[in-house]
Every structure is written in structure tokens, then in C-alpha cells.
Amino acid sequence: MTTFSRFRHAIALAGAAAVLTACGGGSSAAGGDGKTIRVELFCSGLAPIAAELALNSGVAAKRGITIKPICVTSGSAATNALIGGSADVFMGDIGHVVLAQKRGVKMKAYGVVNDRFSYLMVARTDPDLATVKDLKGKKVAVTAPGTLSDTELQKAALDAGLDPKKDLTVVSGGAGATMQAELTSGQVVAGMTSQPDTLQLLRTGKFRVLWQQPDYRYVDIVTMADQDWVGEHQDLLKTFLAAMSEASRQAKANPDQATTWMKKQGYQIGDADLKTIVTEALKSVPDSFHADDAVVNSSTDLLVRTGFLTKPVPSTQDIFDDSLLPAK
């Protein structure tokens, strides 16, 4: 089944809400009052740090809105929730926007809040696993098929001269504790992880980083929403975008304060380690959330190369609406 077929299948599932968990309460309690925005994000990692900072810093509350976080484990299901109206915004990667548009869904991205890869590959500390090429014939985990972690895995494999569809056995490993369990139990020899999971695995001494490209320019996290919803809630979305921008700016200026804010996420790591990964994560948050043509093109080119998209791909203007972003 192709990624696009998987996406269409997931969109058709009526039970997508079953994989969505409100952080701190049911999603039915949010939205509909003009002051609350229901935001889907992958809560186990720091990739959506701009949204997490807007919430944890209190900046959003000071601007008069409430962020209702909804933890997700599947980008396709998260997109389905937007279409069905049980969520307002999804902090996901550019691929989800383009796939939705190709299906005819009126979806757009309203700002880039992370423009670097957020996943890397960890593998068992084993002399037989020195490079990505050594994974040939072995089992490797991604969070789920068709996700950014899958895109990155395929790029790593292709760059190493492997055919990811023939040379690797790719399985769904989930995220957070689920992915860590897949790796520590030996069910897979390598897996795509993000922070803080990566740090926790490396601290055991049983794993090492096999592949990473932290400086590769990719539209990793966008603020994604249905255009009809945005048409009715422009002020709410505009305030949310401004809150993320302000909180990110304050965090970059004061990493210690940012670390204090991010402790509210409940990561099971020490303050020093948290400060290290928060400071690193902030480097991926662009000072301006405006879409850059070069970064968008490198992202869609990769999605075509890895088979997640087929040509033609939409232009930057088709994918993004930057009109609600704070002034540069």
C-alpha cells in the first residue's frame, strides 16, 4: 500500500479519535468559545517546542487564549481530526498538508515553526552496526509508516545505497516509551527517535547514534489547519501564532527560563540535560515563521525522492498562507 493510499485509508477511519489523547482532559471540553484552540502535537518530543512554550510560559494565556493540547501518535489520524472538527490545529510536517491537498481537502499551513529534522537513528552498540549500510536485511523501527521518521529513515537508506523497501524490514515502533521498549527489548536493531528519547537511550550505554542530519533544511513542523475553520477563527489563530513567536523569542534569549517552562512537559531527565536539548531544539525554530521557498522545495523534493509524494507538487504559495503571522 502506498503512503497516499495509507493516508486515504486513515482518513476514512471513523475511529481515529481513539488514538488522540487530550493532555489533561477530554478534547470535547475545548474549542467553540472563540478563546480556546485545540492543538494536536506529538507530546513525547521537543519538535513542536514553539507550541509547548506558548502554553508552558503562560504567553498564550496573557494574550487571552487557552491552548488545549491533544497528544497524537499518528499524523494521518491527526489530519482526520482536523477534517472532522474534533481539533483545530495540527503541529505536523509539510507532507501531511500536501497529501491532504492532493486528496482535495482544503488544508493549508500557517507558518513554519521547525525547519530542521527532528529525528535521528539510534542503533545497538554493536561492531557489526557501524554504518546505515550495515542495516541491510535487518529490522528497523519508525514511529509509524508515512510519518516524518519514515521519510528520514528512507533518506538515510537511499543515501547509503540501500533500497529501503527491499533491503530493510521497517516496522511501526510508536514513540516515547513504546519506541524505547522496541529498542531495549531487541525487537529491532535500530530506530528513529527524537529528544528526549534519544538522550535516555544513549545514557544506557547500549545505543549510539548511527545517523543524523541536524542541519538538513526541512519543513518539519507547520501550523496546519482547515481553511474553512481558519476563515471563522482568524483572530484566534493569529493570536496563537503570535504567542508561539513571542514565547520562542523569549526562550532563545533566556535558555534557563525556557528550561523551567519545558519542565512542565514532565520529561524524565535532569535539568542540565533538559537545558541542553531545549537549547538545541530552539535552533530549529526559525526567527520568522514565514515559509522559505528554498526550504519548501528541498522538503517536497525529498518527499518525491522517497516516494511519499508524486509530481506535480504544490508551490509554496499553494501550501502556505503567511498572512496571519506576526510582522517580520
pLDDT for the residue numbered 25 = 38
Strands (DSSP E) contained in 27-157 are 36-41, 66-71, 89-92, 107-116, 120-124, 139-142
pLDDT for the residue numbered 177 = 87
pLDDT for the residue numbered 43 = 84
Order of strands, edge to edge, in the sheet holding 190-193? 169-172, 139-142, 190-193, 120-124, 207-211
Which residues is 70 bridged to in the sheet?
A: 22, 40
CA distance 189 to 184: 9
Each residue's pLDDT tens digit in the chain (328 positions)? 333 334 433 433 333 333 344 443 333 344 667 899 999 998 888 999 999 999 999 999 999 999 999 998 778 889 999 999 999 999 999 999 999 998 899 999 999 999 999 999 999 999 999 999 999 999 999 988 888 899 999 999 999 999 999 999 999 988 888 999 999 999 999 999 999 999 999 999 999 999 999 889 999 999 999 999 999 999 999 999 999 999 999 999 999 999 999 999 988 899 999 999 999 999 999 999 999 999 999 999 999 999 988 888 899 999 999 999 998 7
Burial 21-45 (b: 16+ CB within 10 A, else e): bbeeeebeebbeeeebbbbbbbbbb
pLDDT for the residue numbered 76 = 80
What is the rounded (10 degree) CA torsion for 13, 16, 19, 23? 170
pLDDT for the residue numbered 215 = 86
What are the residues whose beta carbons fall under 8 Å from the beta carbon of 24, sequence distance 6 or more?
A: 69
For the full predicted model, state whether its pTM sits above 0.75.
Answer: yes
Residue type, 324: L
pLDDT for the residue numbered 31 = 61
pLDDT for the residue numbered 65 = 97
pLDDT for the residue numbered 185 = 94
Q: How far apart, in Å, are the Cα atoms of 5 and each of 12, 106, 154, 179, 311?
A: 11, 18, 18, 25, 16
What is the DSSP pairing of strand 217-226 with strand 107-116? antiparallel
What is the phi/psi pair of residue 305, to 5°?
A: -60, -40
CA distance 208 to 228: 45
* Cell numbers describing residue 268: 524524565
pLDDT for the residue numbered 75 = 82
